[in-house]
Each structure stands twice: as structure tokens, then as C-alpha cells.
Amino acid sequence: YIPPGTYPGLPPYPAEALNAQWYFNRISVFQTAQPSYPWVVNNFQKPAKSTLVVYELLIRDFFANGQRNYQNLIDTIGYFKRLGVNAIQLMPIMEFNGNESWGYNPTFMFAPDKYYGTKNKLKEFIDKCHQNGIAVILDIAMNHQDLPNSFVLQDFNFASGKPAATNRWFNVDPRHPFNVFFDMNHASTYTQKYLDTVNHYWLNQYKVDGFRFDLSKGFTQTNNPNDVGAWSAYDASRIAILKRMADKIWTHSPNAYVILEHFAQNSEEQELADYRSAEGKGMMFWGNLNHSYSQLVKGVADGSDISGVYHKNRAWSSPHLIGYMESHDEERAMYRALTEGASASGYTTRDVNTALARMKAAHLALLAVPGPKMIWQFGELGYDFSINQCTNGTVNSNCRLDIKPLRWSYLDEPARADLFNHVADLNRLHKTYDIFHSGDAIMTAGNGLVKTIILRNTPFNPNPVTAEDMNAVIVVNFGLSAATVNVGFPHTGTWYNYYSYGTPLNVAVNPLSISLGPGEYRLFTDVAIKNEIVVGLAEGLATDVVVFP
């Protein structure tokens, strides 16, 4: 059911067109003199890749039933502005089977799914985002398609329930693990033409700013249907397929983001990240650090190495790694802390307020690291329902795709509002100051609960005068008790404690011994910068305060 408020005037499906076989129930409506959308922004200047703070969003789980539409998304742009993200990545909105879906079961790639609204409302949302300096990225599933996709049905073996061997677009059987529905043959020129046309359509007609290609490691004909290790190994044919696709995109959309959910051998990702990077291009990659950051929030040292969130620690020269703590595919860090967290001497990470405070520390150790970053919706509020939460309140892996509970009320809880403000300020730092998006980082490597991140601007200047040249030091104690750590500052002299009103710290001895309580963190800069977090005011009031002399 699609509410009239979401899609006004939706024509009823003609009874004469109904077929006993569900996959033949497809219809097109031809309308002449369709109203065009009057774009306000025709030449949006995309944020630089290194400054990106992407907000991954599933419209279905972002609003209540009956309100899951583009108009409500438009009305929420002020929230994204306050949070400080500069890109929104929509989980698939192309036509998919059913309504309440993640969208990775696509059928018709040129049609926006009606469940979220009209095509012009989608365009309005994109236009409004651009007016507010926010890029829009579409998550797109071109590894596979579902019935009744026309190219699947065009040459389909109904007896076997698979594409026929003569199908020009699809493989009879998938060539790689983790495939769902029908695997596309990306070596076929027919598939390549289809892919290129889909990409051009959304970039041109809807003015989106790029794509996140789901399961891009599946863009190969190398046959490894059951061997994950072999599938993940360096694949020259897959690299050629992806370079060809990116080249085609960049011929008509030179600055489009090309983001891959890849998780292949590092040398393959490195090559694609550097591809044409000297021209300002190069592909970007999801960098999954969910387990490591969750371990830190829980207070567990095993598996807590987060150094891989920084691209140079993977030997990449281009800052094209989109590091993240959470995504739609991963368990929530807060849920893990509350159900699996460690305890010692009366201190427990299973306490809600303690876990929320540790989420502040984790976001500092994520968002202050140079390079693009991503936040999964409501992570800024410490969302703590499991990815496997069922609609009946139980937790079961069979419920992974179920609708999740809405908790906009979290904004009214002081500790969660404090986390929101903290993340928003980190996003501001990340976008505003070179050191937090383009600096050089030296991070504590290996497992351990005390983390230091040393940020040096390039070229290194030990005597900065302006914030453009400043350096920074981050120290976090994710342990369960107090800890003292010797911190090697980039230089001696005066540093400023950002989270203590800019209190000066004289570093006369280097390294300097610093003591931290459990879950405590520090951010030092060698140029005093303003902390713009406003505390003690109800949501929305901070922007309405006027101070007179």
C-alpha cells in the first residue's frame, strides 16, 4: 500500500493486465506533456573526496509507516545540516519487488520505486540537498537483478528457474559467492551497455553526484562460485571491467563519485583507488572497521586495531578509503557494548550512559582521522537495537531485513543529544581544517585499548601561526581503568586542550606523560581553535540565542 500523500494520483493497476504468474505483472504508463522539474542548482560543486562525511540512509527505517517518502526527507534536511554531513547515500531506491525492502532486489533500474514518492519529489530532494551543500549518492545494485527484470525474462529457462545459456546479460549460475537473485555477466558488451545507460540516466536526469556499487567484487566472470579467498584475490579482468565503467562515467560526469563495496585483496583496491587520481578521479572504497571500533567501545582489546581506517596504513597514496564504524550490513556498536561489554572494578561498558560516552571517544578516533568517513543512520544518537531485531521485539538472524524501531525520541535524552552535538562538531572539524581531512596520521598499530593519533600537516610546520598549518594529537583510553601513556607530540611548546576550553598545555618534555580515566579522551592542537559545541540548551535553541555586550 502506498499512501496518497506519498504518491498523489497513483493510477490503479488495471485488472485486465493481471497475470496468474506474478513475474509477468509489469506495466508501463505513458504520459504526454509530463511536468518537468525546475532545477534550482544546475552545476553543484561536489565536496572534495577527502572532506566527505557520508550519511548512509534507508528511507524505510528513517520514518514511521505512512511517512516514508521524499517530502519528509526534504523536511529533515535541517537535521542533516545540524549534524554537519556533506553527503547523503540513499540505499537503493530503484524499482524493487515489494515495498518494505532494503532495495537490493532491483527489477527496473530506470524507475524510482513508487513507495518513496514521485520522481519529481526525488529530484526536489536532490535539488534541496544541493542548495544546502549536500551531495547525494545512490547505492545501486548492478551485480544482480531480480524478476521481472526485462533482460532476465527476455531469455529465461522457466523449467530450471534460471537465465538461459543464451542470455546475453546474465549468467546461468553465479560466478562468485554471496550472490543473490541473478548474476550479471559484466564481460558482455550487452551488460556493459545496460550498465552505462543506467549510470548516465541517474547522473544526467536526476543530477545525483555518484554511486556506491553494491557487491562490486562480483563484477567478474572469473569462476569462483564457492571460494571466497580465490574470489577476493587480485583479478585483472575485474579491474579492467571496473576501469572501463569508471572511464565511461567520467566522460560525461567528470567529477562523479565512484564508490565500491569491494573488500578484495589490498593491491587490487590500491590500484583502483589510484586510477586516474592525478586527474582528481580515482575510485573510493568502503573501509569496514566495525569490529575493531565495537571492540573498543566494549572495552575488549582483542581485535581492536583501528589503524586500517587510514589509507596510508594500507600503502595507498590516495585518500579514497571511506572509513566507518557502522553500516547497514553490520551490528550496532552500542548494541554490542550493552550486550557483550566488559566490566572491571565497578566500571561497566554495559551501562547505557557509559557506553554513550565511549561512543563519543570512538567517533573522535574515527572522524578526526584524515580521509572520507561514513555514518550509518542514527549512529549519531547511539542507536542500540540489533541489526537482527525482529518486529516482535526478539533478536533473530532471520530478522536481519525487518523494519527496525524508530527512536527519534533519543534526541530528547541528554546523553544522546550530547553525542549528537559531539559528532556534529567532529564533522565540522573534519570539513573545516586541513589537518583532519588531508594531514598525515601516525596511529597506534595493533590491538590495545589506549590509542594515540598524531596528525601532522603537510608540509610539516612545527611553528604554525594559523589553523591551516596546525598539527593535532588525539589520545583515547578505551580501557576499563585509568591509564597513563607517554605521548610523542610533533614538537615541544604550547598546545591547547580542545575539550577543556582550549586550556594551554606546555609540552617541555617530549614524549609527555598523560593520564586518562576509563573512556576518557583528549584532543590537542598547536593553534587555538574554537569549540562550537553548545551545551545545556534544548534542541534547536542554540541557533536562536543572541548575546549582547
pLDDT category, 546, cuts 50, 70, 90?
very low
pLDDT reported for residue 26? 86
514: in domain: yes
Does 203 lie in the same domain as 78?
yes
Residue 479 has pLDDT above 50, yes or no: yes
Contact 207, 127 (CB under 8 A): yes
Handedness of CA 64, 67, 72, 73 (dihedral sign): positive
Residue 537 has pLDDT above 90, yes or no: no
238: in domain: yes
Residue 543 has pLDDT above 80, yes or no: no
pLDDT reported for residue 538? 44
Residue 497's CATH number: 2.60.40.1180
pLDDT reported for residue 534? 56
Please give the backbone phi and psi of residue 156, each rounded to the nearest 5 degrees, phi first.
-125, 140
Q: In this prediction, what percent of the chain has a pLDDT beyond 70?
A: 97
Residue 83's CATH number: 3.20.20.80
Arithmetic mean of pLDDT, 515-543: 78
Does 154 lie in the same domain as 296?
yes
Over residues 395-424, the pLDDT tens digits come to 999 999 999 999 999 999 999 999 999 999
Phi-psi region for residue 501, left (φ > 0), alpha (ψ -120 to 50) or beta?
left
> What is the spatial distance between Cα 269 and Cα 284, in angstroms, rounded to a whole number?
9
Does 473 lie in the same domain as 348?
no
- What average pLDDT does the structure give for the chain? 96
Does 301 lie in the same domain as 234?
yes
Residues spanned by the domain of 250: 15-439
Arithmetic mean of pLDDT, 23-30: 87
For the purposes of burial, counting CB atoms within 10 Å of the CB of 484, is it exposed (0-12), middle (13-18) or buried (19 or more)? exposed
Q: Pick from 441, 382, 440, 389: which is nearest to 413 by CA?
A: 382
Please give the backbone phi and psi of residue 451, each rounded to the nearest 5 degrees, phi first.
-120, 135
pLDDT category, 533, cuts 50, 70, 90?
confident
> Do β-strands 106-112 and 94-96 pair in parallel, antiparallel, or remain unpaired?
antiparallel
Q: How many CB atoms lie within 10 A of CB 514?
A: 20
Q: Could you give the dihedral angle defined by the CA atoms of residues 208, 144, 176 and 319, in that order, rounded to the nearest 10 degrees? A: 0
Arithmetic mean of pLDDT, 475-496: 98
Q: How many CB atoms lie within 10 A of CB 453?
A: 23
SS3 content of the chain, % helix, strand, coil (to 5): 35, 20, 50
Contact 369, 309 (CB under 8 A): yes
Does 223 lie in the same domain as 121?
yes
Residue 345 has pLDDT above 60, yes or no: yes
7: in domain: no
Over residues 430-471, the pLDDT tens digits come to 999 999 999 999 999 999 999 999 999 999 999 999 999 999
> Do β-strands 483-487 and 512-516 pair in parallel, antiparallel, or remain unpaired?
antiparallel
Identify the H or E element spanning 183.
Answer: strand 182-183
Place of cell 603537510: 458
Does 397 lie in the same domain as 281?
yes
Number of domains in the chain: 2
> What is the spatial distance between Cα 478 and Cα 519, in angstroms, rounded to a whole number?
5
Q: Pick from 151, 174, 169: which is nearest to 225 by CA?
A: 174
Sequence length of the chain is 549
536: in domain: no
The 3-class SS string of 386-421 reads: CCCECCCCCECHHHCCCCCCCCHHHHHCHHHHHHHH
pLDDT reported for residue 28? 86
Q: How many CB atoms lie within 10 A of CB 527?
A: 18
Does 401 lie in the same domain as 516?
no
pLDDT reported for residue 289? 99
9: in domain: no
Distance of CA 77 to the CA centre of its chain: 17
Over residues 107-155, the pLDDT tens digits come to 999 999 999 999 999 999 999 999 999 999 999 999 999 999 999 999 9
CA distances from 216 to 25, 249, 259, 315 (A): 30, 15, 9, 21
pLDDT reported for residue 545? 47
pLDDT category, 539, cuts 50, 70, 90?
very low
Q: In this prediction, what percent of the chain has a pLDDT beyond 90?
A: 93
CA distances from 408 to 63, 181, 342 (A): 9, 34, 28
8: in domain: no
Does 468 lie in the same domain as 320?
no
Identify the H or E element spanning 126.
Answer: helix 119-131
Over residues 51-99, the pLDDT tens digits come to 999 999 999 999 999 999 999 999 999 999 999 999 999 999 999 999 9
Residue 373, helix vs strand vs coil = strand
Arithmetic mean of pLDDT, 354-370: 99
Q: Pick from 307, 326, 304: which is nearest to 315 by CA?
A: 307
241: in domain: yes
Residue 30 identity (one-letter amino acid):
F
Radius of gyration of the chain (CA): 24
547: in domain: no
Does 167 lie in the same domain as 126?
yes
Distance of CA 370 to the CA centre of its chain: 16
Mark which of 400, 418, 439 sits at the end of a domain: 439
pLDDT reported for residue 27? 86
Does 312 lie in the same domain as 259?
yes
> Do β-strands 210-213 and 53-57 pair in parallel, antiparallel, or remain unpaired?
unpaired
Does 141 lie in the same domain as 284?
yes
Does 304 lie in the same domain as 192?
yes
> What residues contact 420, with CB distance under 8 A and at least 6 apart?
83, 380, 381, 411
